[in-house]
Amino acid sequence: DLFADRLELVDKKRVRKVLFFWHYLRVSNEKHRRALTHILLSGHALASERMMWAEWYRPESIPERWRLCRFCKVCIEDPVHALFGCKHAPLLDIRRVFFAQLFQTLPEMK
């Protein structure tokens, strides 16, 4: 769960806040904000969520252990794996560029 034990950056210190304005709501690009919201609220199309749904052609959900990542085919495809853990080469490149830009813009996030 991406909300569990969540820490917020307040005065350059990480503190646990129970009731706090979610920073992702300040993302100015609407598509990015929506994507983050989908991931955080389990409204995404990753296997961990989609294969849990019963469909007309599949009346029962698929067991979690079979909901493998469509890229690496090794781990369960959930938001944490897709965003931070998948070892698929193209995703590694995208992630490397993203984090380089993030840490250049916000060095305190390291």
Claim: this prediction has a pTM higher than 0.85: no
The pLDDT value recorded for residue 74 is 92
Structural domain boundaries in the chain: 7-109
The pLDDT value recorded for residue 37 is 79
Residue 102 corresponds to which tokens in the numbers above?
């993030």
The pLDDT value recorded for residue 87 is 94
The pLDDT value recorded for residue 19 is 66
What whole-number distance in Å separates Cα of residue 21 and Cα of residue 1? Answer: 18
Mark the ranges of the chain whose per-residue pLDDT is less than 70. Answer: 1-5, 18-24, 53-57
Tell the burial category of 79 from Cβ atoms under 10 Å away from its Cβ (0-12, 13-18, 19+): middle
